[in-house]
Amino acid sequence: MPVTTPTAGSRPRPFATLVGAVLAAALVLAACGTSDPDRTERPGSTSTTTRADVVATGRSTTTAAVAPTSLAAARQRCRGIDLVAIGDEAGASADLHAVAQRFAAEAPTELAKPALVCARPVEHWRDVVIQRLFTRGHPDGVLITDAEPGHAVLRFTTAEWETYKFRGKDDDATGHNFTGPPRGRTTFAGVGVILTTRGGVVMTRADSYGAVLVNAVWTWWHDEGGYRKVGLPTSAPAADPGIDGVYQDFTTAWGRLPGVFSASGAEAVTTTDRFVFTAVPDPRADAPPDAEGNIISTTGTAWFLDRAGVRHWIDSTDAFVCAQRVEQAEEIKVRGWVSASYRLGAPYVCPDQVTAAQP
């Protein structure tokens, strides 16, 4: 599949006003890539912004509770905060008791952590089964597995879960799962990938929003070497009045599916010969002036760009509002290749949370 370089005047607008809901498709995803994976700050490395790295969850690590030594102790302590222990059948429908036992096998790993990890009851979410986890009472990802027996249980971080369900909401558990049930983990193109029945969830950092690639685009990008031409996916698919077809951004190109505007229509495309990719020779050339200190948003997610030029995933509406209020940050809509041209740091932490967490 050729990737063409635009001639003078043919490059897409620096950033189009992105409209419509996120569309899933064979051309599917949410942003997270970086134009140079080797420059990306990996989990455990030292970030250039100390406040955001104080604690990625916004909670102090100096007062961690001692983990319970048994599942029985966990049950008692979790009930005290209106939650259940990992793998507990309490609150789960009868058809999920067998899956709950599979989740219970993961409990020792979670109970070995320095802080108490509790959960909500095991539940269906589309064609998978999940158990939402909470550490110190705050959301901390999910355990997830195929609803069909015989498949492994995976532990998703909050960022992985948000990326995985990019077209689905927590309270909409009956819709179509465009991503597909997870099957395992691997490393590809220098980043972590969660493999699914329809493709993969591409995660540059496990604690920051990633991107989903499925169906024909996944095959082209992963199996046929397309990643060498376009880099990592950097935005969710979107629709724009000025663009023919759903489109998606990558670190050095953007692709579109002409004439297809619905999620189901895009998913039905099984080959990549209909996709058109356009190269972006200089991703930073489209960056707005004075972006540092503001919020840059792409289709599907937003980032706080600090004064050092490091972007931090904004993981909630509260964090977004905090950045506007405390940092006096304005939202600037950009294309995915622009956001990915900035280094990736730890998730944004509201200064109010950091101050409150100090001993």
Tell me whether residue 160 is in a domain. no
CATH code, domain carrying 313: 3.30.2390
Return the bridge partners of 84, or none: 119
What per-residue string of b and e applies to 303-334 under the rule 16 or more CB within 10 Å gives b? bbbbeeebbbbbbeeebbebbeeebebeebbb
Q: Burial, 100: exposed, middle or buried (Cβ in 10 Å; 0-12, 13-18, 19+)?
A: buried
Tell me whether residue 332 is in a domain. yes
* Confidence (pLDDT) at 67: 46
Q: How far apart are the C-alpha atoms of 260 and 147, rounded to whole Å?
A: 31
Q: From residue 27, give the alpha-carbon distance in Å to each of 148, 209, 250, 300.
A: 27, 17, 11, 14
Q: Of 250, 237, 197, 221, nearest to 34 (Cα)?
A: 250
Q: Residues 33, 202: contact at Cβ < 8 Å? A: yes
Q: How far apart are the C-alpha atoms of 6 and 156, rounded to whole Å?
A: 39
Tell me whether residue 345 is in a domain. yes
What's the number of domains the chain is made of?
1
Return the bridge partners of 209, or none: none
* Confidence (pLDDT) at 19: 33
Residue 138 CB coordination number (10 Å): 12
Tell me whether residue 336 is in a domain. yes
Give all strands (DSSP E) within the chain, no chain letters.
3-4, 117-119, 123-125, 128-135, 138-146, 154-156, 182-188, 191-196, 199-203, 211-214, 246-249, 253-257, 276-279, 295-298, 301-305, 310-313, 331-333, 343-344
Give all strands (DSSP E) within 230-330, no chain letters.
246-249, 253-257, 276-279, 295-298, 301-305, 310-313
Q: Residues 277, 230: contact at Cβ < 8 Å? A: yes
For residue 26, give both structure tokens.
Answer: 């064979």
Please indicate, yes or no, whether the overall pTM of this predicted structure exceeds 0.85.
Answer: no
* Confidence (pLDDT) at 69: 55
First to last CA, the chain: 56
For residue 34, give both structure tokens.
Answer: 């970086």
Q: Residues 327, 304: contact at Cβ < 8 Å? A: yes
Q: How many residues does the chain have?
A: 359
Residue 199 contacts by C-beta under 8 Å, 6 or more apart in sequence? 28, 179, 180, 212, 213, 214, 215, 217, 218, 219, 222
pLDDT in tens, 267-315: 888 888 889 999 999 999 999 999 999 999 998 899 999 999 999 999 9
pLDDT in tens, 204-234: 999 999 999 988 889 999 999 999 999 999 9
Tell me whether residue 347 is in a domain. yes
Q: How far apart are the C-alpha atoms of 54 and 47, rounded to whole Å?
A: 10
Q: Residues 336, 299: contact at Cβ < 8 Å? A: yes
Residue 77 contacts by C-beta under 8 Å, 6 or more apart in sequence? 68, 116, 118
- Per-residue pLDDT in tens (0 to 9) along the chain, 359 residues: 555 544 433 434 433 333 333 333 333 333 333 333 333 333 333 333 333 333 333 333 344 445 445 888 889 999 999 999 999 999 999 999 999 999 999 999 998 999 999 999 999 999 999 999 999 889 999 999 998 888 999 999 999 999 998 776 766 788 889 899 999 999 999 999 999 999 999 999 999 999 999 888 899 999 999 999 999 999 877 788 889 998 989 999 999 999 988 777 888 888 888 899 999 999 999 999 999 999 999 988 999 999 999 999 999 999 999 999 999 999 999 999 999 999 999 999 999 876 544 44
* Confidence (pLDDT) at 1: 55
Residue 47 CB coordination number (10 Å): 19
* Confidence (pLDDT) at 141: 97
* Domain span holding position 332: 286-357
* Confidence (pLDDT) at 261: 86
Tell me whether residue 70 is in a domain. no
Tell me whether residue 242 is in a domain. no
* Confidence (pLDDT) at 328: 96
Helix and strand totals (H; E) in the chain? 11, 18
Tell me whether residue 306 is in a domain. yes
